[in-house]
Amino acid sequence: MEPKTLFDKIWDAHVVKQVKDGPDVLYIDRHFIHEVTSPVAFLGLKNRGMKVFRPQNTIATPDHNVPTLEQHLPIKEELSRVQVEALKQNCAANNVQMYGLDHKYHGIVHIIGPELGVTQPGMTIVCGDSHTSTHGAFGSIAFGIGTSEVEMVFASQCILQPKPKKMRISVDGLLGTDVTAKDIALYVISQISASGGTGYFVEFAGSAIRSLTMEGRMTLCNMSIECGARGGMIAPDETTFEYVNGREFAPKGEEWDRKLALWKLLKSDDNAVFDAEFHFQAADIEPMITYGTNPGMGIGVSGSIPTGKNLTGSDLITFNKSLEYMGLNPGDKIKGKKIDYVFIGSCTNGRIEDFRLFAEFVKGKQKAESVTAWIVPGSKQVEQQIREEGIVEVLEAAGFALRQPGCSACLAMNEDKIPEGKYAVSTSNRNFEGRQGPGARTMLASPLMVAAAAVTGFVSDPRDF
């Protein structure tokens, strides 16, 4: 038999039909929805006189728009309130389970799927959100889709999708001190560029990847879209099975044994061929931070902003435009740059492990007076863990206050907007112009880098402490 990649095995098992000279009809196991990209799809469905075909495989949560303070009160901003209300009504009309703001399982869609055990190895998972790639950490094919495609899944539990090419990115060796999964992600993107993965689905492999916890793997797969890839995945192993076992919607008893036997087969065959391969050494990666306006514009914290001297034409125009927006000078050291805001949270770094890392660093230290800090858990369950583990006391003693779950300042659809011209060191995933608010200047980094910036007020190296 021809050797297959992990991606091929899962994809091929989900093809309902191949369209001649066209895309595959791909069956979808789990469909996550949220308030922003679903209403027009629900409307389209209604106009066709249809209801959701497989509501039991559809899970909803409002996350993009929601305030992160006083969630028990009605949402103040009218358009956000209308969208959240529309999600509630659409779910009720279609028998879709929604974890609303008042539910103990509420949270960011890509946080709650894994923590509830809805996300499982071998599945196909979609959501009208590009960071659906997060779920690939479990050895599933997970990717973001547009609203027309959301409507396709509502109507048929399938989408039409051309099969992407396959890329393997291997990272081997031991990670250095204070180097996290976020740093691996930012390093890889800085090496292959923000469009280096376009047209591909990525499998991450190698000993450094194997050593990551599930939280770390989710951070890495989450960021795979930032190199342009449709998604990223990691073959499931004992770390994966241990994480899934016992969760609310994970298989139980005999069903668990049956599923586990199948999941253990989910890996690329030894001689499987990838359309592209990259190899990196963990030892080359240091804590990373971005200086520009796409996630590929990242450097190690001890490094300098590129000079741009070797660039020409539209590359140079784009580089200059980016640094002008950021108010940074080519060739300058990044360390020591004064910052104004820090944000820890989002589907990238809003899990319990991220808050443990942050708290461990700030314990016994004080937030710099000049810094405004937004500490936003990814879900109600993460918030609960933060309280139960005593992390909230550590945060408060160091001058930080915990907010309530939501996407928050990652994309600034709610009130959590970084003001114009201000610098934010952020654990989120995008440093695009205006992403965190009009004129906001975002520097992407790990929870540890954010913690170091929070207590000093400057871009700082956590290894110096």
Partner 1 sequence: MSIEKFQKLVSTVVPLPIENVDTDQIIPARFLKAVERKGFGDNLFRDWRYKKDGTPNADFVLNNARFSGQILVGGKNFGSGSSREHAAWAIYDAGFRVVVSSFFADIFKSNVLNCGLLPVQVSDQFLASIFETVEADPTAKFEVDLENQTITNIAAGVSVKFDINSYKKECLLNGYDDIDFLISLNDEIIAFEKA
Q: Is the dihedral of CA 445, 438, 226, 12 positive or negative?
A: positive
What's the rounded Cα separation, in Å, for the pair 283 and 167? 22
Q: Which among 105-113, 175-183, 194-202, 351-359 is the span making contact with partner 1, rule CB under 8 A?
A: 194-202
Contact 383, 403 (CB under 8 A): no
Token pair for 287? 């804590």
Which of 198, 281, 302, 329 binds partner 1 (CB under 8 A)? It is: 198
How many Cβ atoms are within 10 Å of 312's Cβ, its own excluded?
9
The reply on whether position 31 binds partner 1 by CB under 8 A is no
Shortest reach from residue 355's CB to partner 1, in Å: 24
CB of 291 to partner 1, least distance (A): 15
Question: How many Å apart are CA 271 and CA 249, to the nearest integer?
Answer: 35
Is-contact 125 28, C-beta < 8 A? Answer: yes
446 binds partner 1 (CB under 8 A): no
Q: Assess 83 for contact with partner 1 (CB under 8 A).
A: yes
Is the CB of residue 275 less than 8 Å from the CB of residue 289? no
Q: From 264, 200, 210, select the one nearest 232 (Cα to Cα).
A: 200
Residue 325 touches partner 1, criterion: CB under 8 A: no
Contact with partner 1 (CB under 8 A): which of 10, 33, 36, 454?
36
| Selection from 375, 372, 383, 340 nearest residue 358 by Cα | 375
Q: How far is the CA of 272 from the CAs of 8, 196, 221, 278, in angstroms? A: 10, 21, 21, 15
Going across the sheet that includes 30-33, the strands are: 97-98, 58-60, 30-33, 124-127, 141-144
CA gap 152, 48 in Å, rounded: 12
Listed in sequence order, the DSSP H helices in 206-344 are 207-210, 214-222, 238-244, 253-263, 313-326
Q: Return the number of the residue (271 or 314) whose C-beta is nearest partner 1.
A: 314
Determine if 202 is a binding residue for partner 1 (CB under 8 A). no
Q: Tell me the per-residue interface mask from 392 to 421 with partner 1, x by CB under 8 A, - otherwise.
A: -------------------xxx------x-
Smallest separation (angstroms) from partner 1 to the CB of 430: 6
- For partner 1, the binding residues in 248-277 under the rule CB under 8 A are none
Identify which of residues 27 and 458 has a Cβ nearer to partner 1 in the complex.
Answer: 27
Does the footprint of partner 1 cover residue 433 (CB under 8 A)?
Answer: yes
430 binds partner 1 (CB under 8 A): yes
Alpha-helical runs (H) found in 116-206: 147-156, 181-192
* Interacting residue with partner 1 among 3, 70, 76, 162 (CB under 8 A): 162
Residues 110 and 116: beta-carbon distance below 8 Å:
no
Helix (H, G, I), strand (E, B) or coil at 272: coil
Q: Which stretch binds partner 1 (CB under 8 A): 16-24, 100-108, 242-250, 275-283?
A: 16-24
Is residue 60 within 8 Å of residue 87, measured between CB atoms?
Answer: yes
CB 113 to partner 1: min, Å: 16
- Return the range that interacts with partner 1 (CB under 8 A); candidates 253-261, 343-351, 377-385, 427-435: 427-435
* 145 near partner 1 (CB under 8 A): yes
How is residue 170 written in tokens? 């291997």
331-390 positions binding partner 1, by CB under 8 A? none
Query: Among 9, 64, 135, 217, which residue interacts with partner 1 (rule: CB under 8 A)?
Result: 64
Q: Which is nearer to partner 1, 44 or 399 (CB)?
A: 44
Answer yes or no whether residue 71 interacts with partner 1 by CB under 8 A.
no
Q: Does 40 participate in binding partner 1 (rule CB under 8 A)?
A: yes
Closest CB to partner 1 among residues 2, 21: 21
What binding mask, one character per residue, do residues 92-131 give for partner 1 by CB under 8 A, x or -?
------------------------------------xxx-
Q: Are 295 and 186 in contact (CB under 8 A)?
A: yes
How far CA 40 is from CA of 64, 146, 243, in Å, comes to 16, 11, 35
- Report the C-alpha gap between 103 and 29 in whole angstroms: 24
Min separation Cβ 367 and partner 1, Å:
27
434 forms part of the interface with partner 1 (CB under 8 A): yes
Rule CB under 8 A: choose which of 8, 149, 340, 383 binds partner 1.
149
| Cα gap 313→317, rounded to integer Å | 7
Strand partners, 166: 201
Residues near partner 1 (CB under 8 A): 16-17, 19-23, 25, 27, 36-37, 39-40, 43-44, 47-48, 50, 64-65, 79-80, 82-83, 86, 128-130, 143-149, 151-152, 155-160, 162, 164, 194-195, 198-199, 228, 230, 293-294, 313-315, 317-318, 321, 411-413, 420, 430, 432-435, 438
